[in-house]
Amino acid sequence: MEVQRLPRRLFYRWTPTGAEIEYPTNIPNPAPEIACDTVQVTVPPTLPNWFTLWALETQGNGSQAWRNFTVGFSITVPVVSQSFSHWWQGQAQCWTGWTFTNQWGQQGSGFAQFTRQVCGTAQLTPGNGQAPRRDLLVGTDRIINPTINAPCPTWRLAGGNCPPNSLDCGDCCLDCAAINTAVNGVTSSVLPHSAWRKR
């Protein structure tokens, strides 16, 4: 007598004008919580870009100061790696190597790979930043948004209704033909014992 509901499907869009995507799994009844979840992700600087190396150098009097070196225009994010330090004449002298790859116009024309030597703790600007990514949560399943700094996705549920020729009883679907047969069966079995008669 009871029949299954039609499949309930979830459809979502990352942008208001983007294509609608169908979630690959049927959504049960009751439906799990569906929500937008914002997480902060690391975002590299835009490319190509001009980069500057900043070195915190120790001066002769023991004080520290930041110096900057214009690294140049690069089609990739320069790779910064410590290469070596050196002791000289009893004083701590550091020639810490920082490697920058795929620089444009820093050494002549065209692409050049080279090493830049600076002393001290260094950092590169512009560096990585943080940006929001708004994912879609379907219960415990996270669907990762392919873009950052985008609004929350929109979604809708479709289907999940009782099939044709059935009654929706809230938590189940009942087949109309089976109900009709059952009612007629009960009626025919009760009617001979009823005090009510047709005239």
Is 199 domain-assigned?
Answer: no
Q: Is residue 119 assigned to a domain?
A: yes
Residue 196 maps to a domain: no
Do both 54 and 115 map to the same domain?
yes
- CA distance linking residue 92 with residue 44, whole number of Å: 34
Q: Is pTM beyond 0.85 here?
A: no
For 160-189, write each residue's pLDDT tens digit. Answer: 888 888 888 877 888 888 777 777 777 777
Same domain, 184 and 142: yes
CB 162 within 8 A of CB 173: yes
Structure tokens at 105: 């116009």
Looking at the structure, tell me whether residues 74 and 9 fall in a common domain. Answer: no
Query: What total of structural domains would you count in the chain?
Result: 2
Q: Give 57's strand partners.
A: 65
Whether 9 maps to a domain, the answer reads yes
> Is 65 in the same domain as 13?
no
Query: Would you say residue 197 lies in a domain?
Result: no
The per-residue pLDDT of the chain, averaged, comes to 77
pLDDT, one tens digit per residue, over 31-75 is 899 999 999 999 999 988 888 877 776 666 767 777 777 667 777
For 35, residues 6+ apart whose C-beta sits below 8 A from its C-beta are 136, 137
Domain coverage including residue 108:
49-127
How many whole angstroms separate alpha carbon 138 and alpha carbon 36? Answer: 9
Residue 195's pLDDT is what? Answer: 62
Residue 44 lies in a domain: no
